[in-house]
Amino acid sequence: MYRTYENDDLVVFWNYDKCFHAKKCISLSPKTFRPGLKPWINLNNAESKEIWQAISLCPSGALSCLYKHNIGVTLDRENCRSVAVDNGKEIGECVYQITDGDWNIYHTGVSLEYQGKGIAKRLVYKLLEEAERNNVKIIATCSYARKVLEDD
């Protein structure tokens, strides 16, 4: 199960399947990581530095974190994609086609000047979360999306 959590500053990625519940994150930032509550991660209760440090010490790799750089990532279901936008300008997308009920991600792209900020990962996660909520299986012929599915 893939989830993202955001505040004004950060985007946090969490992969439930990797988490072995060592609770390191909870001990380092208890107001952020709150088992039993929904959402269990709340990024508005602690400083970014504390959150970042807790995430960097997650022993399983279930948690990772990026700065947002004021870039929004939203779903565009009508056009089968997620989209990244900076100040109204579209700067990236992740696109799928529906094949036998599955969503096949076949393209992920981010404008050259925005690369290296983790935007492609945010785009893929946006589709993974949405697919899970709709009980749809994701496959990827896009090599980048496949790497996220295999490594994350």
Q: Which residues lie near ligand SF4 (CB under 6 A)?
A: 19-25, 58-60, 62-63
Residues 35 and 140: their CA atoms lie apart, in Å, by 32
CB of 31 to ligand SF4, least distance (A): 14
**Which residue, 23 or 69, has its beta carbon nearer to ligand SF4?**
23
**Which residue, 46 or 58, has its beta carbon nearer to ligand SF4?**
58
**Which residue, 36 or 101, has its beta carbon nearer to ligand SF4?**
36
**Which residue, 62 or 127, has its beta carbon nearer to ligand SF4?**
62
CB of 128 to ligand SF4, least distance (A): 17
CB of 71 to ligand SF4, least distance (A): 25
CB of 41 to ligand SF4, least distance (A): 9
> Which are the contacts of 85, defined by CB distance < 8 A and separation ≥ 6?
71, 72, 73, 74, 91
